[in-house]
Chain A
């Protein structure tokens, strides 16, 4: 056989048929659900992100359509990814199985899924309109605002409000459920924004090096020198309060974390032999950076990003609590806390439930992040 003149040199081995490992039905279902949720989370983040930049309005339209079709898109996409991954050796499936093997990751995933579903199906779950005041409604006349929870299961016969009424006599349960629609997209979108910019900066700084590296990283040092929430507060104060400004501010202050992380990974990957080989083959720097280096530094970024979503949700709630984020009457948990803070001694339920919702969301993403870290990179396992 004549091998003297290969048409093109490629380091990649020819694609072979990989033996498809058998997989139990239970695992299949679990993995499909997880992949579906991942697609759903990505859609949520993308629409929220494109929503804050007016110029992207037209680009966002198709995504909004996808978003409204939600699970009609996410479910087939999840199953498609599953099938595709199976034919390619199942690297993704293995990771997911590893995630579910740990209790931490499973609990985190269940919490996040529940909250996302609650947000998506809020109109079906909520018992009342989250913005409509109950004053003057049939059967509600004469109620004091901030009425305590009333559930038939606990022997309450009046019109039921599982978590009570808030100061404007709005149903707390419905407001909390609708709140998931605000907090989760903000968390995901701000992290997505920060990861994109941060990774790009880190990649370029690490790969180009020299004065460019110095310039970028010194600027990141300066940003890191500010306590992050304080910098976010200053940015929103100047830009004006509002959800999209809060999102941007949180994203901006978390860019340095991802820039540093990706730069450090680039520096360690850059010197590996396969990069040298690729360079010797004459690959363009752009190809090397985006096709060879980027995929190999993604793991720590994904883990850090998932953990970062919890922090972003917390920061967004804090900004709303200070009156800088969501504005009334938007049902947003931090904003609800802010409204109720002066009534904590008379109507503690108004404070308890929104805060609990925030905590649950943050806990969910933190546990999911911990689980992902264990699943993706056993070396990073700190415990």
Chain B
């Protein structure tokens, strides 16, 4: 396992290098003078020259790329001029919001999508099956942002006052300020700046709530997560349900399933242990491939639900023409995407021992 992961990591290096090269080139494609693009129209020639020199932008392109590479490797993604802060600090604060959201969305998609797919396959051509497939077709065609807005309207306005009402905006009820676990535990004294990793962890409301023992906070954060997670998770859910259905349908027709039935096993066991286990491989592939869609969904949904995750940050960055911010977010998500795919590959061998690692 270790050797396999190591080999895959080494194989990922050229791709990571390529990603860096692409983001670098994208950064240089900004039309016009990069200095004026970054400092504004009113920058004088002197300030510009000084700025370009300080940022190493007066060097030839290959040198610039090496500078960019070393900066990224040192964890420096440049400064966001909209927020006047290093992009990395912004990411440490906001990436966890998106992380929490996409995680919830994929959990939602998997725990609903897989059972739905199994039942559809098992009751092939029944009303339930047809209904699920029609629903799945509509589900994959829905614009995420539209679904998000409709959910916000339905649960925030129509169902207001009923027990089904859910908060349509924000990560926590207004006014709630969660105490970061590092302050509670005395890891970081008042006035000190916590490291980015601690900030990242503390921003995960669910985790932070559990660590500080504040269950009310966990519940509140969870309620606020439901609507956006459903919005982001619907397309993956539809895809997973479709994939599970066709995959289970195929395994249900196999000889070993008939044998299992002939042995007199309970039907439930036949479906879950014999058919499903073997049907899961393509489903896992699809789940892995969907992370890109999840991230895209999060980008579009966060602006609707007022989550200050990287999606909202990206949106703000676009409106403000904050190139280093947009570039940094693209880079980080692409790298995350590569590692998620790596993880999915490793999961294969767990599901199907016949697949030799390596």
Instruction: List the interface of chain A (C-beta within 8 A of B).
Output: 218-219, 221-223, 225-231, 233-235, 237-240, 310, 314, 317-318, 321-324, 334, 337, 341, 344-345, 348, 351-352, 354-356, 358-360, 362-363, 366-367, 382-383
Contacts and interface: CB of A to CB of B under 8 A. Distances in A.
A226 B22 CA distance: 10
A24 to B, nearest CB: 29
A237 B22 contact: no
Given A240-B31, A337-B149, A355-B146, A234 B327 contact: yes
Contacts of B144: 318
B315 A219 contact: no
Interface stretch (B88-96, B186-194, B318-326): B318-326
Interface string B18-33: 1101110010011100
Given A221-B15, A238-B26, A351-B153, A318 B145 contact: yes
A230 B295 contact: yes
Contacts of A222: 15, 18-19, 21-22
B15 A323 contact: no
B337 A226 contact: yes
Contact of A227 (B146, B295, B321): B295
The main secondary structure of chain B at its interface with chain A is: helix
A233 to B, nearest CB: 7
Nearest to A366: B141
Given A225-B15, A226-B19, A317 B31 contact: no
Interface in B265-293: 291-293
A231 B153 contact: no
A108 to B, nearest CB: 10
Contact of A219 (B18, B138, B150, B303): B18
Contact of A233 (B14, B21, B318, B338): B318
A4 B296 CA distance: 67
A323 B318 contact: yes
10 contacts: A222-B18, A230-B333, A237-B323, A322-B300, A334-B143, A341-B149, A348-B150, A351-B146, A363-B138, A363-B141
Contact of A358 (B143, B293, B314, B327): B143
Contacts of B300: 318, 321-322
B212 interface: no
Interface residues of B, number: 56
Given A223-B22, A351-B146, A355-B150, A231 B141 contact: no
Interface string B93-107: 000000000000000
A82 to B, nearest CB: 30
B29 A363 contact: no
A229 B296 CA distance: 6
Contacts of A323: 318-319
B19 A314 contact: no
B334 interface: yes
Given A234-B26, A337-B145, A358-B143, A225 B18 contact: yes
A127 B338 CA distance: 50
Contacts of B251: none
Contacts of A321: 143, 145, 300
Contact of B138 (A225, A354, A355, A359): A359
Contact of B246 (A231, A314, A383): A383
B338 A225 contact: yes
Contacts of A358: 143, 146
Interface centre among A221, A334, A383 (most CB of B within 10 A): A383
A86 to B, nearest CB: 34
Contacts of B330: 226, 230-231, 233-234
